[in-house]
Amino acid sequence: MSPLTPALISYWHRLPAECAATRRKSLDATRERVRGGREPAAALVPFALGDVDEGIVASATHAYIAAAMAATSDVDPMEPIAEAVEWIRRGLALNRGAVFGALLALDDERAVMRLAPLRLLLSASEVEVACRVLGNSPGPLALGFLSDWADLVAEGPLQRERQALHAAIGERCCAQAA
């Protein structure tokens, strides 16, 4: 059994009893303990994998990647990103769309390259979540990724996904032009 399993089980027991605001406060406190070196970066993983709230999942994913990269100079910068990509690929995160959007929001070429093969694994609702998490001002790599993704699904049965991507691209382009 993974050392993460008991932490996830504990988190899932609390999930139905705690509102999102309480879980956000808990995430913020955990993030501060991790920053202060009182807990390892792995303490953030139950929030990223076990929550359903897209804001909590995205924030926990970003915090985990930043903390894991800062933890030691021995860590390959791709390792935390690769781990988060695996959460999506293997369906480990309850909110895969939020993890996907959080990684895409990094606007990092290495993350974008790792996300590319996973684009067609996401459901339409996960695509919509990923686009919301990405926000209104994505970087140029993320915007190009969305455009390529929309082209990929343009001529197939994934019309809801295509609509979500085109809406996201349109919103982002309009926001950047304003």
Look at residue 107 and tell me if it is in a domain. no
Q: Which residue has the higher pLDDT, 172 or 11?
A: 11
User: Rounded distance, CA 44 to CA 26, Å?
Assistant: 10
User: Rounded distance, CA 47 to CA 113, Å?
Assistant: 25
Look at residue 106 and tell me if it is in a domain. no
Residues 45 and 94 in one domain: yes
Report pLDDT for 174: 38
Residues 178 and 129 in one domain: yes
Is the pLDDT at 146 greater than 50, yes or no?
yes
Report pLDDT for 124: 83
Nearest to 96 by CA among 106, 86, 88, 104: 88
Is the pLDDT at 173 greater than 60, yes or no?
no
- Average pLDDT (128-142) is 88
Q: Which residue has the higher pLDDT, 79 or 96?
A: 96
Look at residue 109 and tell me if it is in a domain. no
Structural domain count of the chain: 2
Look at residue 60 and tell me if it is in a domain. yes
Domain that holds residue 177: 116-178
Is the pLDDT at 156 greater than 50, yes or no?
yes
Residue at 3: amino acid letter: P
Look at residue 104 and tell me if it is in a domain. no
Look at residue 86 and tell me if it is in a domain. yes
Residues 83 and 135 in one domain: no
Is the pLDDT at 171 greater than 50, yes or no?
yes
Record the pTM: 0.86
Look at residue 34 and tell me if it is in a domain. yes
Torsion, Cα 47 51 57 59, to 10 degrees, reads -50
Residues 79 and 121 in one domain: no
Residues 65 and 144 in one domain: no
Q: pLDDT tens, 41-70?
A: 999 999 999 999 999 999 999 999 999 888
